[in-house]
Amino acid sequence: MVLSFLKTVKSRIPTDLAPDVSRPTVGIIGGLGRMGRWFAKFFQDAGFPVLISDMQTELRPEDLARQCQVIILSLPMQVFPKVVAKLGPIIPENSFLTDLCSLKQSQVACMLECACCEIAGTHPLFGPVEKSMKGRRVALCKGRGKRWFTWWEGLLRKHGAVTSVVSPEEHDRTMAWTQALNHFILLCLGKAMDDHGIDPKQIMALATPSFEQQMEILARLYHQDPELYATIQMSNPYTDGVLETFSQHGANLRKIIKERDRKAFIELFEEVQDLGHTVLLSKKNYVDSR
Amino acid sequence: MVLSFLKTVKSRIPTDLAPDVSRPTVGIIGGLGRMGRWFAKFFQDAGFPVLISDMQTELRPEDLARQCQVIILSLPMQVFPKVVAKLGPIIPENSFLTDLCSLKQSQVACMLECACCEIAGTHPLFGPVEKSMKGRRVALCKGRGKRWFTWWEGLLRKHGAVTSVVSPEEHDRTMAWTQALNHFILLCLGKAMDDHGIDPKQIMALATPSFEQQMEILARLYHQDPELYATIQMSNPYTDGVLETFSQHGANLRKIIKERDRKAFIELFEEVQDLGHTVLLSKKNYVDSR
């Protein structure tokens, strides 16, 4: 399986004018959640009128949907389909609907099915602990319509985001690596340490720079939402295949080590070094493109 | 298994005076290898007279051993026992012998058995790509004698190293985590990506900050020596147990994900979050102590 990404648009995109209004009212459904608050602040700081609705607000999602030109769904993935089914028919055709879910295939399909307005899928590839959007990646999936999409991508870029336009399928396939497998590895590492009674403070005293970074990644989990991470593992249709491949290579590499097969180990190591070299080059390109 | 570390000495250690000489001649055997060169430069910059021997030098290890008060073995672990057996009996009792191997149990035992001089095991927990010793960790194992050990630890600290004194057994147990398991994970991740034809450049376009860091760790392998990494996996007696535990947790977590057991997933996630919190605190302590 080779991932083929749509080319990221590098041209200047006009950002000041929304399709029909110069400063649309933005509504965030789930606006009291962590990402909801983050985006509410983002839009407020950017000078947009913002309405939010959540379980505790007087403003109901239906009223918000009628009053806003831009509607952002910041919802747990478990309740997402139900809310979209209810709101979709209310949203006027000339409005814009997008979501912030960590998965995109069923989410974009669901929005397209339930609503007639312009639609895009958005996945901010960062959490609410980040201070700003500058240099952070955002995945965008085209749904329906170009005008609002152009406005939305332009706004994100204007505020420093590095956007990538991908199909929902490509997005979810990639997330099986960058999220599901990555979290899987960290969880297994943490559980194994727990099991052996390893005290992180003590092990850090003998950490190499590489393991120190690994521990820093593990520590990032402290800020995350277990419910979201469960859904990322359990709802992505590509997770199982990726975890299977990883586990197979684990079994294979353990065999190589047990059999003291230095030749096989070194071949494998050099293959991964080649990949590492490509990462170094891509990192350079990414930094250069900012 | 709980690791119990010897307390790192925090008091000021006199560094200017070696036991018998104020500025001993330092000999590096394997001084043309990457770490050998690194330490040759380190001692030269610190103002010590330095001799090196290697396969291509006219100076033979035996002659070096007779002329130097401090002898550093910077050798591949495969040839280490043979060289120590040959040189050990030549080294005068009042000299200091240390090594730079990534494992310490059999290495320190070998030096103690073959030589009568003062002995310590040294593991610089960084590679030759690092510019200086400042802030880098160094593990030290006591072998025989206190005077040279005090001088050696003091010198490393004076140049900014963060030293930890551990027993050879504790050292190797810890390396099974910080080196063997860490490299194992990175190799399985890289091989799995290769297998699925993932282009790192493309996947990086959709990387979260956590996965971006994971790719950066993987990329570090590019600078490393496959032979050394093979030995780290295959010669550490604690590797197998650690890899086994990690693999078992992999199998267990895959079962939880397949069965959509959200409750079990969230419990496991929260346990690892607690560990992550301890890492954050230990990182803070480490930074504060520098």
List of chain B residues whose C-beta atoms are within 8 Å of the C-beta of residue A174: 202-203, 206
Q: Do B137 and A5 count as a contact with CB atoms less than 8 A apart? A: no
Residue A198: beta bridge partners? none
Q: What is the pLDDT of residue B282?
A: 80
User: Cα–Cα distances in Å, from B155 out to A186, B31, B47, B53, B151?
Assistant: 37, 19, 12, 22, 6
Q: Across the interface, which of A203, A242, A247 has its CB nearest the CB of B174?
A: A203
- Decide if A266 contacts B230 (C-beta within 8 A): yes
* Angle, in degrees to the nearest 10, between helices A262-289 and B226-235: 120
Alpha carbon dihedral B208, B213, B218, B222, in 10-degree steps, equals 120
Tell me the mean pLDDT in the region A82-109. Answer: 97
List of chain A residues whose C-beta atoms are within 8 Å of the C-beta of residue B234: 257, 260, 262, 265
Q: Across the interface, which of A171, A200, A214 has its CB nearest the CB of B275?
A: A200
Q: What is the pLDDT of residue B51?
A: 98
Query: pLDDT category, A11, cuts 50, 70, 90?
Result: very low
Residue A204 has pLDDT above 50, yes or no: yes
Residue of B273, B281, B287 for testing the chain A interface, max A β-carbons within 10 Å: B273
Q: Do A265 and B239 count as a contact with CB atoms less than 8 A apart? A: no
Q: Across the interface, which of A219, A230, A278 has its CB nearest the CB of B279?
A: A219
List of chain B residues whose C-beta atoms are within 8 Å of the C-beta of residue A136: 209
> How many other CB atoms are there within 10 angstroms of residue B255's CB atom?
11
Give A24→chain B minimum CA distance, Å.
28
Q: What is the pLDDT of residue A170?
A: 96
* Helix, strand, coil percent values for chain B (each to nearest 5): 55, 10, 35
Q: How far is B178 from A212, CA to CA, in rounded Å? A: 8
Q: What is the pLDDT of residue A68?
A: 96
Query: pLDDT category, A288, cuts 50, 70, 90?
Result: low
Residue A16 has pLDDT above 70, yes or no: no
Q: What is the pLDDT of residue B141?
A: 98
Tell me the mean pLDDT in the region A100-117. Answer: 97
Query: pLDDT category, A283, cuts 50, 70, 90?
Result: confident
- CA-closest candidate to residue B116, choices B141, B139, B87, B155: B87
Q: What is the pLDDT of residue A281?
A: 86
Q: What is the pLDDT of residue B281?
A: 86
Q: Which CATH superfamily is domain A26-166 in?
A: NAD(P)-binding Rossmann-like Domain (3.40.50.720)
Q: What is the pLDDT of residue B169?
A: 97
Q: What is the pLDDT of residue A201?
A: 85
Residue A67 has pLDDT above 90, yes or no: yes
Q: How far is B159 from A222, CA to CA, in rounded Å? A: 34
Residue A163 has pLDDT above 50, yes or no: yes
- CA-closest candidate to residue B201, choices A273, A279, A6: A279
Helix (H, G, I), strand (E, B) or coil at B173: helix
Q: What is the pLDDT of residue A272?
A: 96
Q: Which residues contact B146 (CB under 8 A, 6 or more apart)?
A: none
Query: pLDDT category, A73, cuts 50, 70, 90?
Result: very high
Query: pLDDT category, A9, cuts 50, 70, 90?
Result: very low
Give A132→chain B minimum CA distance, Å.
13
Give B268→chain A minimum CA distance, Å.
8
Enumerate residue ranges in chain B where pLDDT < 50.
Answer: 1-12
Q: What does the domain layout of chain A look like in residue ranges?
A: 26-166, 170-259
What is the 8-class DSSP label of residue A49?
Answer: -
List of chain B residues whose C-beta atoms are within 8 Å of the C-beta of residue A191: 249, 252-253, 268, 271-272
Q: What is the pLDDT of residue B285?
A: 63
- Tell me how far the alpha carbon of residue A14 is from its chain's centroid: 25
- Decide if B230 contacts B236 (C-beta within 8 A): no
Q: Do B240 and A258 count as a contact with CB atoms less than 8 A apart? A: yes
Q: What is the pLDDT of residue B147?
A: 96
- CA-closest candidate to residue B213, choices A9, A185, A102: A185
If you measure CA to CA, which chain A residue comes closest to B190? A272
* Angle, in degrees to the nearest 10, between helices B239-258 and B182-195: 50
pLDDT tens digits along A217-270: 999 999 899 999 999 999 999 999 999 999 999 999 999 999 999 999 999 999
List of chain A residues whose C-beta atoms are within 8 Å of the C-beta of residue B166: 206
Q: What is the pLDDT of residue B2?
A: 43
List of chain B residues whose C-beta atoms are within 8 Å of the C-beta of residue A163: none
Q: Do B257 and A268 count as a contact with CB atoms less than 8 A apart? A: no
Q: What is the pLDDT of residue A8?
A: 42
A15 or A183: which leads in pLDDT: A183
Q: Do A164 and B206 count as a contact with CB atoms less than 8 A apart? A: yes
Residue of B269, B271, B283, B289 for testing the chain A interface, max A β-carbons within 10 Å: B269
Residue A289 has pLDDT above 80, yes or no: no
What is the 8-class DSSP label of residue B57?
Answer: -
Q: What is the pLDDT of residue B196?
A: 94
Residue B118: beta bridge partners? B96
- Decide if A51 contacts A25 (C-beta within 8 A): yes
Q: What is the pLDDT of residue A5?
A: 46
